[in-house]
Amino acid sequence: MKDYKKRALVFIAIIALIMVITLPEDLYATYDNVKYYPGNDKDLSSEVTDLDSCKIEADNLLTSQTYTEDEKTVTIEVYEGKYIKSWDSNLLVKHVFVKGGDGGNLYTYEPAEYSDNNISLHSPEKNEKIPDISHVTFYFQNLGYLELTKLVEGKAPEGEFEITVYDEEDNIVEVINIVKGETKTIELEPGSYSIEETESNKADSISYSNQDIMVVEGETIDVTVTNKYEEEEPKPGYLTVTKIVEGEAPEGTFKVTIYDEEENIVEVINLVKGESKTIELEPGNYSIEETESNKADSISYSNQDIMVVEGETIDVTVTNKYEKEEPKPGYLTVTKIVEGEAPEGTFKVTIYDEEENIVEVINLVKGESKTIELEPGNYSIEETESNKADSISYSNQDIMVVEGETIDVTVTNKYEKEEPKPGYLTVIKIVEGEAPEGIFKVTVYDEEENIVEVIELVKGETKKVELEPGSYSIEETDSNKADSISYSNQDIMVVEGETIDVTVTNKYEEEEPIPGYLTVTKIVEGEAPEGTFKVTIYDEEENIVEVIELVKGETKKVELEPGSYSIEETDSNKADSISYSNQDIMVVEGETIDVTVTNKYEEEEQKPGYLTVTKIVEGEASEGIFKVTVYDEEENIVEVIELVKGETKKVELEPGSYSIEETDSNEADSISYSNQDIMVVEGETIDVTVTNKYEEEEPKPGYLTVTKIVEGKAPEGEFEVTVYDEEENIVEVINLVKGESKTIELELGNYSIEETESNKADSISYSNKEFTIEEDKTVNLTIKNLYEEQKEDGKDEDKNDDKDDEDNKERKPGYLTVTKLVEGDTEGKEYEVTIYDEEDNKVEIIEITEGTTEPIKLKIGDYYIVETNNNGADEVEYTKKDFTIIEDETINITITNIYEEEVIIEPIDEIPDIPNDPEPENEEEIIIEPKKEIPNLPNTGGLIPSDFILSGLGTLLLGFGIKLNRKNR
């Protein structure tokens, strides 16, 4: 038991000792690392100096105080002018540069902090002593930005929208009040945030371009919040059309067309026998007409002029009657001719039977022809809507329709107008050879190919017609079976008051021997797919004589010269078997031979339909594929189609309803579909085009940095530098003072630069006078003004001084070359090196990559060199930093940039002993790890509460251990 208690005592003592020893670890610095830099703030990398900063001089560091500059406030606690014990800032601090002696320590915080307590920031040690702080500079973290835009679709009520920004712990960071169409920008610390609209002003829906965002230092992220408001539109009405068929109708669909009051087509409904379809229509008046009756003998409507009422349904029945095998109909072709200027609108021609019942009403426009079917018999024609014509004439008004024949009627409407006198066309019909009885029809067309006149002629007849002056073309549209037609002139110009003659000659060859005939009938057993069958006739030499296209149940008759032939079906429309009543035939003059070709079809399962998807790209798309997904009615994925720009793919689908969506748009700005909801029909193909648009990005600007170098003593005042474009227009005027650099933004292109105000300089030199601005790149130009030293009159100078001045005038300059060495992975980076004279004036700025520069001419004297852009190097080494230029000699300085390779630290079981770091040498950049010890300073601030807790806990444990040990004794 005593051994157990002893072990417990030892264990408790060890824990207490560890807590006491490690106590400062939780109290001290939060900075990530510290680097030593020789020189001053200007020697820091541009990544640091480009940040907003606050510099506190030594005079303000003697005591603890709060320092304010613009909107920056820093409270700092300093001990003995050497150590910064704590600091607190209203802005995030990224770096603290503590300057003292020959250089400074740069303390870096990752991430940036608002404060740091119980620390010991100081200047670099020199000869085992800490120099007094000459100044301290706080460099502040760049913030990121959120640009928020409020879009409203639809009519929103008056009022503001409230958008709340939350951090990762769901704490409210910012509440933004915004109105329709407004854009607001706010500053945010880098990090992750979420966005939510907490007051949507009664929107029906809200959408975000991005709801979870990552704010990056110095960058702006754009978020659009869109509120949609649905418009309360008037409810539609409905029309249900039912197709009734009486009798045996051929296969096919019926088309019923819906017209509005202006006779514009509103909807075309495809129906089959017995089918009903309901469509949605806006309230109003409509008329109904069956425009494809599938060869019905008659059509009747339950109602043809309808009134659609909001929310109600009107039913219309269209009945098509098919008579039994009656005599075949005849045909009437009515052509509308208009002479003069007619108002817009249609003409109505009404056909009456012998009892003066209306048989048909034909709607026509100028130059239009329509052919209708009529039962054989007597009819009369009357134009019942003449569209305000001055006169109407008919080529024939009382007609006899004969079975299987077509009769042509021209209805001419004249509109009087004080127009120029007409010209005349005389057409002469010449016939060579034996023509059958009948008439010839010559049609005259205007420049828009509208029918102007139809002239009926017989052999040897001449007719003269009156035409308005202008250009016309002539074509014989009924040649009465002529073998050939020739025209003396086919394109004519009619001139006012003059007559042009045209001869139309028809030739007839001598009659050949009377042919024989072959009748082929197509019989189909089973369900055949839609389509035609092709039967080919071969002669005895197996040459193709005729190809006959047939549909199910059709019979066709062809003429053949007498002789032997064979028959073969060369397109069976996927039949399972073919049989012939006769395959080898003998055709006899004047006789007809009948052949039946029978195709059998076995019962098949339902065939699929097809979907063809074409990818169209407008603009410049990034490389990659687009994915289009096909969903069925239950929104299950049926097919995913991968496409590239301009590609078309065809997929097989079962008949039914589908929807299409592009699920990978390859970062397109917008997507449009020719059709997104589709109906796949057996054996048919539906085409869909998916179009992706890419907006062109505007080119980024470039930048020009101009640095003013002054040699000699310049009078007070500014220098003016003017930038010109290629047309010598002034683009920018830059005012500079000695040693100053300014950067401006310029559009891409060629420019020139000139100093238009030189402040009385003796001479001006340019590093480059003409330059080209490239996208997102910076051009650096140096303008150097030289001022000669002048002697003051009336002063006696030492003769030796006069001699020295003469020597100086004759002395030649010296030269400097800079060699850039790089260790590590650089990928061809550029660096910037600046040369300063003894008075810290900029003398030269050099842009350099790896290698050695050309010699740079410098006056004799003392200089120092600093790499002002080290491109993120981990370490920079100089062979020398301060140098002296000697007459006519060249000095070389090598600057080495070291990039460390990324080291992966594997975990170790034991921490090895680490020797103390050697003291830093002033000549090199040394990385100093954060110190975990505070120098032996007097206790001026006391312990923070955590000190008391941990120290007290350690004391209690030690006391408990001692007491336990005494009890055991």
The pTM assigned to this predicted structure is: 0.28
**CB distance 214 to 192 below 8 Å:** yes
CATH (domain of 748): 2.60.40.10
pLDDT digits (tens, 9 = 90+) for 174-187: 999 999 899 999 98
Does 119 lie in the same domain as 81?
A: yes
Strands (E), 824-887: 831-837, 842-848, 851-852, 856-858, 861-869, 875-878, 882-885
| Number of other residues whose CB lies within 10 A of the CB of residue 618 | 14
pLDDT digits (tens, 9 = 90+) for 550-583: 999 999 999 999 999 999 999 998 898 999 988 8
Residue appearing with tokens 């910012």 = 174
- Return the pLDDT at 7: 64
Q: From the centroid of its chain, how far is CA 393? A: 61
Q: Is the model more confident about 94 or about 4? A: 94
Q: Is the pLDDT of residue 15 over 80?
A: no
Does 215 lie in the same domain as 181?
A: yes
Does 114 lie in the same domain as 129?
A: yes
Helix (H, G, I), strand (E, B) or coil at 397: coil
| Domain assignment of residue 614, yes or no | yes
Q: In angstroms, rounded to a whole number, what is the distance separating the alpha carbons of residues 691 and 676?
A: 12
Q: What percent of the chain has pLDDT over 70?
A: 86
| Domain assignment of residue 938, yes or no | no
Does 445 lie in the same domain as 368?
A: no
Model confidence at 532, in pLDDT bands (50, 70, 90)? very high
DSSP state of 217: T
Q: Is the pLDDT of residue 752 over 60?
A: yes
Domain boundary among 507, 531, 557: 507
Q: What percent of the chain has pLDDT over 90?
A: 53
| Domain assignment of residue 311, yes or no | no
| Domain assignment of residue 244, yes or no | no
> Which tokens sit at 669?
């700005």
Q: Is the pLDDT of residue 936 over 50?
A: no
Does 526 lie in the same domain as 484?
A: no
Does 135 lie in the same domain as 175?
A: no
Greatest extent of the chain over all pairs of C-alpha atoms, in Å: 155
- Return the pLDDT at 684: 93
Domain boundary among 228, 259, 288: 228
Q: Is the pLDDT of residue 905 over 90?
A: no
> Which tokens sit at 308?
């659609």
**CB distance 161 to 957 below 8 Å:** no
| Number of other residues whose CB lies within 10 A of the CB of residue 565 | 21
**Taking all residues of the chain, what is their mean pLDDT, rounded to a whole number?**
85
| Domain assignment of residue 157, yes or no | yes
Model confidence at 921, in pLDDT bands (50, 70, 90)? very low
| Domain assignment of residue 206, yes or no | yes
Q: Is the model more confident about 7 or about 223? A: 223
**Residues paired with 258 in a beta bridge:** 267, 288
Q: Is the pLDDT of residue 869 over 60?
A: yes
Model confidence at 717, in pLDDT bands (50, 70, 90)? confident
Q: In angstroms, rounded to a whole number, what is the distance separating the alpha carbons of residues 124 and 294?
A: 102
pLDDT digits (tens, 9 = 90+) for 665-703: 888 889 999 888 999 999 999 999 999 998 877 778 999
pLDDT, average across residues 429-451: 92
Domain boundary among 417, 444, 461: 417
| Domain assignment of residue 297, yes or no | no
Using CA atoms, how far residue 42 sits from 339, 761, 840, 899, in Å, is 93, 28, 10, 22
Question: What's the structural domain count of the chain?
Answer: 9
**CB distance 678 to 811 below 8 Å:** no
Does 492 lie in the same domain as 549?
A: no
Does 545 lie in the same domain as 528?
A: yes
Q: Is the model more confident about 954 or about 406? A: 406
Model confidence at 5, in pLDDT bands (50, 70, 90)? low
- Which of 247-251, 620-624, 721-725, 764-768 is least confident? 620-624
- Return the pLDDT at 21: 45
pLDDT, average across residues 522-541: 92
- Which of 10-24, 122-136, 210-224, 498-512 is least confident? 10-24
Q: Is the pLDDT of residue 4 over 60?
A: no
Helix (H) or strand (E) holding 664: strand 656-664
Q: Is the pLDDT of residue 406 over 80?
A: yes
Model confidence at 792, in pLDDT bands (50, 70, 90)? very low
| Domain assignment of residue 681, yes or no | yes
Model confidence at 793, in pLDDT bands (50, 70, 90)? very low
- Return the pLDDT at 931: 38
Model confidence at 450, in pLDDT bands (50, 70, 90)? very high
Residue appearing with tokens 């990005």 = 697
Q: Which domain holds residue 156?
A: 144-228
Does 148 lie in the same domain as 89?
A: no
Helix (H, G, I), strand (E, B) or coil at 656: strand
Q: Is the pLDDT of residue 23 over 60?
A: no
pLDDT digits (tens, 9 = 90+) for 882-904: 989 988 889 899 999 888 865 44
Does 807 lie in the same domain as 888?
A: yes
Q: In angstroms, rounded to a whole number, what is the distance separating the alpha carbons of residues 50 and 217?
A: 13
**CB distance 285 to 261 below 8 Å:** yes
Q: In angstroms, rounded to a whole number, what is the distance separating the alpha carbons of residues 619 and 696?
A: 7
Q: From the centroid of its chain, how far is CA 607? A: 39
CA dihedral defined by 946, 949, 951, 955, rounded to 10 degrees?
-170
Does 413 lie in the same domain as 427?
A: no
Does 137 lie in the same domain as 148?
A: no
pLDDT, average across residues 357-382: 93
